[in-house]
Amino acid sequence: MTIDKNQTGEKTVLSLSGRLDTTTAPQLQETLIPAFDGAKEVELDFAGLTYVSSAGLRVLLMGQKTAKAKGGSMTLTHVSGEIMEVFEMTGFADMLTFV
């Protein structure tokens, strides 16, 4: 998985491509959690993401909790139908914010 980071003012966009799985989830965690130190809003662009495993879901939940704790927000954009189906089946569709 690759992560491209773009910060503008209080907004950081993390563009993900590849697979978010057990191997790559720590990489996202190392990028996502500190992103809230310099930004009020973190957007995860899933346009290039092809797969999300339970390890990836765990990191997304950590990101959501970090955003709330710091008074910020985390949104997901360009989520494919296949990945949205995973979110819906696991109940994450109700916990995350999609735009």
- Residue 39 main-chain phi, psi, to 5 deg: -145, 145
pLDDT of residue 38: 82
Nearest Cα to Cα of residue 75 among 7, 3, 13, 4:
13
Residues of the chain with pLDDT under 50: none
In this structure, are residues 11 and 43 in contact, taking their beta carbons and an 8 Å threshold?
Answer: yes
Listing DSSP states for 29-77 in one string gives HHHHHHHHHH-SEEEEEEEEEEEE-HHHHHHHHHHHHHHHHTT-EEEEE
- Integer angstrom CA distances of residue 12 from 5, 22, 64, 86, 90: 7, 24, 14, 25, 26
Q: What pTM does this model have?
A: 0.95
Distance from C-alpha of 70 to C-alpha of 80, rounded to nearest angstrom: 28
pLDDT of residue 75: 98
